[in-house]
Amino acid sequence: MKTFEEKWTAWIDGELTGAELAEFEASLPDRAAAEAEKRGALKLQSFLKEYLPCPAMGNEEFFHHQLRERIAAETHVDDPAESDAGSPVWWPLGRLIWVGATALAIFAVCTIFVMREAPTADQSQYLSQILNARVDPVVNPNATITKFESKEDKVTILWVEGLQSLPSEFAAK
Amino acid sequence: MHTEATPAQADVSELDLVKQCQAGDTEAFDQLVSRYRTRVFGMIYNMVHNEQDAWDLAQDSFLKAWKSIGRFRGQSSFYTWIYRIVTNVTIDWLRKKHVKGSGTEFDDAVQLKEIDPASRTVPKADALPHQRMERQEIRARIDAAIEQLSPEHRAVILMKETEDMQYHEIAEALGCSIGTVMSRLFYARKKLQNLLRDLYENV
């Protein structure tokens, strides 16, 4: 069901025909005024056509150039992987296996190296304690400490000479 | 609706060009731009009444068309499709500028837009100076009257009266029903008739 506005517009544009046209024209309360309005609308149409020509753009080449530049910039931004074009997104399975095995081997070598360098956990606590002890050169001018160590047997011998006394906390337990 | 295609360009169908664009061919897009740039520019110019703004909005419209051409399915003509983008871009821009059709009648106090005599929008016919001036004044009155319309009403009246588009084409371009287009035309025409009657009855 068309509204009055829709029918009026169709009537102005000559889109109403047949029974619809007759029905609409019969429904107009003041046919003469409506016809005058229609003539006015048609004059307005031709008036707008005459005085609203499609303006020439000018500098068409520059328009294209500018547009191409903007498209190129947008394309570059939208496709960051463009520079990697041609390289596969996923590595082949063989390469993945090789890389995995190599990484594992490097990890194993590093682990062994670090383990060999690490100090043994069962090293005598007295060694560090005595070496850290303050030996007063006035009280013990001739004090010397010599360490004998056998890693195979896990034995460390400290040979202390020249001490007047050994602090009680360093006594063998 | 005529286009700007040269005979050589016309050999390549619009749909073929669109398909090439969808494959990333910027040269094909260049051809489509060549076909429609003047009409697009003219449509925008008649809505915003400023050459620089019309230029920028035409650029934005074509750029947007390029970015979304992958979604063009050919259900309507490319012309209608690009007009939909153009009207969306332009109406959004007008809304951001807070352009609203006022309900007031035309007032001579409305500032008439001055048109640069050297402007390319001035008809190139060899009119006498007083005739040129008269045309400029009339054009300025029309522009001022159109500025009284809402962006949607501007789009409808310009597509219908200057582009000769059919109701269904305008509806597709604006993304609304044919009934809405006809209703908008009714009110836009009424308003322009009130604002410009003294001109079109006497010119």
- Among B70, B98, B126, identify where a domain stops: B98
Do residues B49 and B105 both lie within one domain? Answer: no
Considering the domain architecture, whether residues B90 and B22 belong to the same structural domain is answered as: yes
Please check whether residues B106 and B184 belong to one and the same domain.
yes
* Spatial distance between the Cα atoms of B99 and B92, rounded to a whole number of angstroms: 10
Mutate to test the interface with B, among A3, A5, A9, A71 (most CBs of B within 10 A): A9
**Whether A10 and B182 lie within 8 Å, measured CB to CB:** yes
Interface probe with A: pick from B176, B183, B187, B191, most Cβ of A within 10 Å: B183
Domain co-membership, B161 together with B122: yes
Nearest-angstrom CA–CA distance, B137 and B146: 14
Do B132 and B59 share a structural domain?
no
Residue type at A15 in one-letter notation: E
Tell whether B53 and B78 lie within a shared domain.
yes
- Does residue B121 sit in the same domain as residue B194? yes
Chain A residue numbers touching B123 (CB-CB < 8 A): 53
| Per-residue pLDDT, B171 | 94
Mean pLDDT of A74-91: 55
Q: B82 and B106 share a domain? A: no
Domain CATH number, residue B53: 1.10.1740.10
| A51·B192 Cβ contact <8 A | no
CA B153 vs. chain centroid, Å, equals: 12
Written as six digits, the tokens of B73 are 């399915």
Which residues does residue A146 pair with via DSSP β-bridges, in sequence order?
A159
Residues B8 and B94 in one domain: yes
Contact residues for B149 (Cβ-Cβ < 8 A; gap 6+): B101, B157, B188, B191, B192
Q: What per-residue confidence (pLDDT) applies to A87?
A: 45
pTM exceeding 0.90: no
B72 and B123 part of one domain: no
Q: Which residues of B touch A45 (CB under 8 A)?
A: 161
If one compares A10 and A145, the residue with the highest pLDDT of the two is: A10
Closest to B158 (Cα-Cα) out of A134, A62, A121, A48: A48
Do B87 and B10 share a structural domain?
yes
Distance CA A173, CA A55 (A): 107
**Which of B59, B138, B182 lies nearest to residue A6, judging by beta carbons?**
B182
Which residue, of B50, B82, B98, is where some domain finishes?
B98
Amino acid at A64: H
Reading chain B (203 residues) residue by residue, the pLDDT tens digits are: 444 544 444 557 888 899 999 998 989 999 999 999 999 999 999 999 999 999 999 999 999 999 999 988 888 888 889 999 999 999 999 998 875 554 433 333 333 333 344 444 444 445 677 878 888 899 999 999 999 999 999 999 999 998 889 999 999 999 999 999 999 999 999 999 999 999 988 87
Residue span of the structural domain in which B152 resides:
100-203
Inter-chain contact B138–A43, Cβ cutoff 8 Å? no
Q: Are B73 and B94 in contact (CB under 8 A)?
A: no
Share of chain B above pLDDT 90, in %: 57
Alpha helices by DSSP H, listed for B118-177, are 129-146, 151-161, 167-174
Q: Of B66, B98, B130, which residue constitutes the final position of a domain?
A: B98
Number of domains in chain B: 2
Closest CB from A40, A57, A66 relative to B41: A57
Residue A155 has pLDDT above 90, yes or no: no
Residue type at B3 in one-letter notation = T
- Average pLDDT along chain A: 78
CATH number at residue B121: 1.10.10.10
What is the Cα–Cα distance from A128 to A159, expressed in whole angstroms?
14
The three-state (H, E, C) secondary structure of A45-74, written as one string? HHHHHHHCCCCCCCCHHHHHHHHHHHHHHH
Phi, psi dihedral angles at A147 (to 5 degrees): -115, 135
Write the Ramachandran bin of A87: left for phi over 0, alpha for psi from -120 to 50, otherwise beta: beta
Please give the residue that has the higher pLDDT: either A112 or B118: A112
Q: B153-164: per-residue pLDDT in tens? A: 999 999 999 888
Indicate yes or no: CB of B139 within 8 angstroms of CB of A51.
yes
Residues B200 and B166 in one domain: yes
Residue A70's contacts (CB-CB under 8 Å, 6 or more residues apart) are B59, B63
